[in-house]
């Protein structure tokens, strides 16, 4: 039912119109009237009528002036102007202010009802059109969001080629291109069991996370994978930008969220990639990272609870030292590490407390996690963990605990040794590819990884572990070694050699050469040629002496 308001300076007109029509029967609500525009205006703003009937000639503020203000402030209100003056100028003024109808007095109740019903139809039609437009816009928006989410999901799951992904992103107006990419996976779990509160708190926590990521010098894209899980594709112009963002996400932001909201945040972060096709590898790394972090977090909580419930229990493992040893230590140092843990192991009640089990479980998780990250372990983590749990359950003394840890480390070093043998062929192929393509200034880790059919992050880790240097260090070493050979075997200029070994910037090449060798290219060529000349002279003298 439409609300009607009447403005006329003649009280008899107002009362006649108000009383001669059965408003509800005709489908309307008579919400009020006023004697002039000035009095009417605040009432209109308060009552918000759908249709305004106003006289054109009134004191203080006439109908035209009132209509102009109403059309500006409340454009959806339809206006019907009544006038006792049959003059063209009044009709034109009414049209100018957007009046729906211009009706000459006197008017009958039937005329007013007819005008109101026609105006009501216009209102209904406009409202329907507006609702349809809004629905269409919402559907388009929802479709765009769903399509964007599908694009990101396909990209992370490796279901779409790079060219197709870029084409789809362009159609959706999604800024997908960047110089570096990394994937993070977040999973919120709320402590409160009430469903409505859980949904609200999870939404607030996710909004806070999104807002904080937007403050960083990166570009986050995301899609919901489930009610609690979100996958983030973080883009950056430099790798350090993304590394800083990941550090903030893992260290600072996680703690902030868990303090501000009644929830825990499990997250995993992947490897930084230089190309879109590497997003899938980063996603898989993030999934693995989340799994191991959650497993470790649950066990640490159980470890703390077991320690709290056991009276006098004060043995806490030097966890970080153990982790550093796995990544940086050598097999012959295992005995020294176990000796340093002996006091902690002896102070544990291995028979009547669960603390010892969770302590060994913590070390075991770190071994499996590190082996998985470094691609040492061949069996699935779940199967391996089940085998190790059977051994842990049998431990009943400090000596048995030490024996278990010794066996655990021996398994780790065996995996590492097996992996080293397995990666020998792959590294040889990678080095051979570099040796053939070092002159390509566009050669990247991704190119070499594609050639040996592994992910860039995997190849990078293996290179560092097995070769003792990063991929970039090896490539640089190869190029500088080739540059030395060209300096001695050709008369090419330094800038020509720079281009031949993969450096378009001759100035950069010269500085790099000096930083690595300690001398300039010119000095190197002179020193080596002079040294070779002395050797030749000595050999000639010896030959002459032999004649005599």
**pLDDT for 124-174, tens place per residue?**
998 988 888 887 776 666 666 678 888 898 888 877 778 778 888 888 888
Q: How confident is the model over 6-24, as a mean pLDDT?
A: 89
Q: Is the pLDDT of residue 543 over 80?
A: no
Q: Which residue has the higher pLDDT, 375 or 211?
A: 211
In angstroms, rounded to a whole number, what is the distance separating the alpha carbons of residues 525 and 220? 50
pLDDT of residue 239: 86
- Token pair 């703690």 in the structure block, residue: 255
Pairing assessment for the beta strands 180-190 and 219-224 based on DSSP bridges: unpaired
Q: Exposed (0-12), middle (13-18) or buried (19+): which is 68, by Cβ within 10 Å? A: middle
Range with top average pLDDT, 373-382, 399-408, 411-420: 399-408
In angstroms, rounded to a whole number, what is the distance separating the alpha carbons of residues 427 and 446? 14
Q: Domain 422-540 maps to which CATH number in 1.10.1040.10, 1.10.10.60, 3.40.50.720, 3.20.20.100? A: 1.10.10.60
pLDDT of residue 541: 41
Q: Chain-centre distance of CA 7, in angstroms? A: 58
If one counts every other C-beta atom within 10 angstroms of the C-beta of residue 43, the result is: 16
* CB distance 65 to 56 below 8 Å: no
CA proximity to 387, closest of 368, 414, 374, 403: 368
Q: Residue 306's pLDDT band (boundaries 50, 70, 90)?
A: low
- CA dihedral over 388, 393, 394, 395, signed as positive or negative: positive
DSSP 189: E
* CB distance 278 to 456 below 8 Å: yes
* CB distance 50 to 42 below 8 Å: no
CA proximity to 367, closest of 410, 421, 422: 410
Please, what is the Cα angle at 471 between 414 and 480, to 5 degrees? Answer: 130
Tokens of 282: 């980063």
Q: Is the pLDDT of residue 378 over 80?
A: no
pLDDT of residue 142: 60
| Long-range pairs of 330-335 with CB within 8 A, sequence gap ≥ 24 | 331/409, 331/413, 334/406, 334/409, 334/410, 334/413
pLDDT of residue 144: 63
* CB distance 345 to 381 below 8 Å: no
pLDDT over 90 percentage in the chain: 15
CA proximity to 179, closest of 102, 82, 276: 276
pLDDT of residue 51: 93
- Domain positions in the chain are 2-129, 422-540
Q: Which residue has the higher pLDDT, 487 or 460?
A: 487
Domain spanning 2-129: which CATH class is it, in words? alpha beta
Range with top average pLDDT, 55-59, 355-359, 518-522: 518-522
If one counts every other C-beta atom within 10 angstroms of the C-beta of residue 85, the result is: 11
Over residues 386-398, the pLDDT tens digits come to 778 888 888 888 8
Q: How confident is the model over 414-440, as a mean pLDDT?
A: 83
pLDDT of residue 31: 92
Q: How confident is the model over 372-388, as a mean pLDDT?
A: 64
Compute the mean pLDDT over every residue in the chain, rounded to the nearest whole number: 81
Cα-based torsion angle of the residue sequence 222, 225, 230, 236 in order, rounded to the nearest 10 degrees: -30
If one counts every other C-beta atom within 10 angstroms of the C-beta of residue 445, the result is: 21
pLDDT of residue 538: 39
């Amino acid at each position: 039912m439409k609300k009607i308001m009447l403005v006329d300076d003649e009280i008899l007109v107002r009362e006649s119109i108000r009383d001669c029509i059965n408003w509800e029967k005709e489908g309307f609500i008579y919400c009020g009237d006023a004697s002039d525009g000035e009095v009417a205006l605040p009432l209109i703003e308060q009552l918000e009528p759908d249709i305004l009937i106003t006289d054109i000639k009134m004191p203080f503020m006439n109908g035209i002036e009132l209509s102009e203000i109403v059309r500006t402030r409340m454009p959806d209100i339809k206006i019907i102007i009544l006038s006792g003056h049959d003059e063209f100028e009044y009709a034109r003024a009414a049209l100018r202010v957007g009046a729906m109808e211009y009706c000459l007095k006197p008017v009958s109740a039937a005329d007013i009802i007819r005008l109101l019903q026609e105006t009501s139809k216009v209102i209904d039609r406009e409202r329907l059109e507006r609702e349809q437009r809004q629905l269409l816009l919402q559907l388009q928006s929802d479709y765009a969001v769903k399509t964007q989410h599908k694009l990101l999901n396909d990209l992370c799951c490796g279901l779409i080629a790079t060219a197709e992904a870029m084409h789809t992103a362009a159609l959706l107006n999604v800024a997908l291109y960047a110089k570096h990419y990394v994937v993070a996976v977040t999973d919120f779990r709320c402590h409160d069991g009430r469903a409505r509160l859980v949904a609200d708190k999870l939404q607030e926590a996710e909004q806070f996370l999104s807002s904080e990521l937007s403050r960083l010098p990166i570009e986050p894209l995301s899609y919901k994978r489930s009610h609690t899980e979100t996958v983030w594709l973080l883009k950056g112009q430099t790798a350090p930008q993304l590394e800083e963002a990941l550090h903030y996400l893992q260290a600072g932001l996680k703690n902030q969220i868990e303090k501000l909201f009644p929830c825990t945040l499990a997250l995993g972060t992947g490897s930084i990639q230089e190309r879109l096709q590497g997003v899938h590898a980063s996603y898989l790394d993030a999934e693995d990272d989340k799994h191991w972090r959650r497993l470790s977090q649950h066990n640490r909580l159980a470890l703390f609870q077991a320690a709290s419930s056991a009276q006098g229990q004060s043995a806490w493992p030097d966890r970080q030292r153990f982790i550093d040893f796995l990544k940086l230590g050598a097999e012959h140092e295992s005995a020294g590490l176990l000796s340093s843990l002996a006091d902690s192991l002896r102070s544990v009640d291995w028979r009547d407390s669960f603390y010892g089990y969770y302590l060994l479980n913590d070390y075991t998780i770190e071994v499996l996690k590190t082996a998985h990250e470094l691609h040492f372990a061949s069996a699935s983590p779940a199967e391996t963990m089940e085998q190790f749990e059977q051994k842990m359950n049998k431990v009943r003394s400090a000596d048995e605990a030490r024996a278990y840890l010794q066996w655990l480390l021996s398994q780790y070093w065996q995996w590492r040794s097996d992996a080293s043998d397995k990666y020998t062929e792959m590294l040889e192929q990678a080095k051979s590819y570099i040796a053939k393509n070092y002159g390509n200034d566009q050669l990247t880790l991704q190119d070499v990884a594609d050639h040996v059919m592994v992910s860039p992050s995997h190849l990078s880790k293996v290179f560092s572990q097995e070769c003792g240097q990063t991929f970039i260090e090896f490539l640089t070493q190869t190029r500088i070694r080739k540059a030395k050979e060209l300096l001695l075997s050709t008369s090419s200029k330094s800038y020509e050699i720079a281009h031949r070994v993969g450096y378009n910037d001759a100035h950069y090449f010269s500085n790099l050469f000096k930083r690595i060798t300690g001398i300039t290219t010119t000095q190197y060529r002179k020193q080596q040629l002079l040294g070779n000349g002395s050797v030749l002279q000595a050999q000639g003298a010896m030959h002459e002496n032999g004649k005599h």
